[in-house]
Structure 1
């Protein structure tokens, strides 16, 4: 079984050394934390929240082997491997596959705008053909606010028809649940073994009820345990109450630059200020934002115990 297990994933934030390189040991330890005490079923490193498109190629290429050497389960990791250059995407995906990580979250080529569906199809087809493995599992990454290259349902269906199970699912970061619904209804969702992940845990039960596979979210770096509680709560008032907790936490995260906020919270939890380092052009939270975030977390009882 090569496909990633379904559930609650964190789009894991990335720790950087002073020279801008990825601190691999710290990232691996953090991902292990996310999948234990952190409440996540899996992790999606080098995605948007992980500043993946700002991570140097040498680091992105080296990470899968480091994860494998650390014994991190291959069915619990979906590496972000998208790149504007088709052959960079191939190289990044091949490094993951070579290390046993067959699941890749793949942005469309995002520099040239308004590409045709034929052009986007060719990009993904090139990836499938160059990797040349029936065990590859591609998760298409729809994030038009950042990439400015949306993926149409027609394109998704065309890729699925041509390559079958290799096109394993889709992460919908549009922030619009109706878009997630459209993808689920077009593909059949989990009933047709096509795993669609909305990017906001506020959509957890809306998505699960119509065939989503779970959630891949930036704010589950911090709030995944609450999401798991909502997922396991029985239908009715208990579930509704648990979802209100989830939605409140998600709203707190939305008040701040997400990547910087998640890193600041991890710095508080771990006592390691290295976590606050961002890659240009992103910057850490201001003193005012840090103070506001701390107050907001304290108000909902979510401030890490080690920082209280």
Structure 2
């Protein structure tokens, strides 16, 4: 049986940088603590973490900091995907050693049109090289960004070969029909939607939860829907979450999220993006701030946590 902690709401945690573009480790740790205080887990080194702008060494250093600060590993799902097999192995080894709830593993994404055989070989080789029963992998399907789809056939093959290791998937494809196909095909698999827009529908089909960008700014509201999904007002809560998500439609999501945390948390360090991504413009922030104010966005104790 998969660890019961592999469920609920996880945030692909934003990464603050200092003026030299180095990760601001103390601020990162404080922010992770705030996300946890709101009931969400930590999917550090995800897409919204600017993971592919971080080196393996930087990820391992930040991950070690969280461990040293005794943040609960059972609430962690660190991103371990990489284009280079040894990099994926090193990151997966760290997750396995710490006994995290799982690791979130993007497929190798540079080469396009790779076969399921090639993807299976990459995952299999990683698992065999790590050689640790504590390794749990949650696959990461985000073809609009990675250019690499994770097919149902590949999932089936991986589950059959590694049933105790390949335990779940995050579907960020944006098509709930695909998420439902995964839920229907693999009833014991931990399927997470990649946006809280699909949270209620995912849970109605016995999904595991969601791993969503918006869990960075109002994790508590998303967790509340997850926990009260059977209540009569669940759809109203889903509609409210959708309205907040809509405020970020059509803008640069990662920089907008970071600017939101910088402003609401009174932590200017969160404004900084590592190139090639660029900082969120002041004019765009004024427009977004107006929308968020109208929606009464709440970030309880964020400024206090980041001080």
Query: What's the TM-score bracket when you normalise by the shorter of the two chains?
Result: over 0.9
Provide the C-alpha distance between the structure 2 equivalents of 1:123 and 1:236, rounded to a whole number of angstroms: 43
Q: Does 1:225 align with 2:220?
A: yes
- Cross-structure match for 2:20: 19
Q: Does 1:88 align with 2:87?
A: yes
- Cross-structure match for 2:202: 207
The one of the two structures with greater contact order (alpha-carbon pairs below 8 A, sep at least 6) is 2
- The secondary structure found in structure 2 opposite 1:49 is helix
Provide the C-alpha distance between the structure 2 equivalents of 1:163 and 1:265, rounded to a whole number of angstroms: 40
Provide the C-alpha distance between the structure 2 equivalents of 1:63 and 1:131, rounded to a whole number of angstroms: 20
- The secondary structure found in structure 2 opposite 1:164 is coil
Q: Does 1:151 align with 2:150?
A: yes
- Cross-structure match for 1:293: 288
Provide the C-alpha distance between the structure 1 equivalents of 2:39 and 2:245, rounded to a whole number of angstroms: 16
Provide the C-alpha distance between the structure 2 equivalents of 1:77 and 1:277, rounded to a whole number of angstroms: 24
Scaled by the length of structure 2, the TM-score of the pair is 0.93
Answer yes or no: is the 8 Å Cα contact 1:219–1:253 preserved in 2: no
- Cross-structure match for 1:256: 251
- Cross-structure match for 1:30: 31
Provide the C-alpha distance between the structure 2 equivalents of 1:155 and 1:139, rounded to a whole number of angstroms: 13
Structure 2: segments with no counterpart, 5+ residues: none
Pick closer, same or farther for the CA change 1:234–1:16 going to 2, 3 Å: closer
Corresponding residue pairs, total: 301
Provide the C-alpha distance between the structure 2 equivalents of 1:176 and 1:95, rounded to a whole number of angstroms: 32
Answer yes or no: is the 8 Å Cα contact 1:267–1:273 preserved in 2: yes
Deviation at 1:11, TM superposition (A): 1.0
Deviation at 1:269, TM superposition (A): 2.1
Answer yes or no: is the 8 Å Cα contact 1:261–1:285 preserved in 2: yes
Provide the C-alpha distance between the structure 2 equivalents of 1:287 and 1:96, rounded to a whole number of angstroms: 38
Provide the C-alpha distance between the structure 2 equivalents of 1:230 and 1:201, rounded to a whole number of angstroms: 9
Answer yes or no: is the 8 Å Cα contact 1:13–1:50 preserved in 2: yes
1:105-147 deviation per Cα after TM superposition (whole angstroms, max 9, x unaligned):
1111101101111100000001110110112100101010110
Q: 2:238 aligns with which of 243, 255, 261?
A: 243
- Cross-structure match for 2:211: 216
Scaled by the length of structure 1, the TM-score of the pair is 0.92
Pick closer, same or farther for the CA change 1:102–1:237 going to 2, 3 Å: closer
Answer yes or no: is the 8 Å Cα contact 2:170–2:191 preserved in 1: yes
- Cross-structure match for 2:107: 108
Provide the C-alpha distance between the structure 2 equivalents of 1:173 and 1:271, rounded to a whole number of angstroms: 30
Provide the C-alpha distance between the structure 2 equivalents of 1:220 and 1:278, rounded to a whole number of angstroms: 19
TM-align CA RMSD: 1.8
Provide the C-alpha distance between the structure 2 equivalents of 1:74 and 1:255, rounded to a whole number of angstroms: 34
Provide the C-alpha distance between the structure 1 equivalents of 2:29 and 2:280, rounded to a whole number of angstroms: 24
- Cross-structure match for 1:6: 7
Answer yes or no: is the 8 Å Cα contact 1:40–1:220 preserved in 2: no
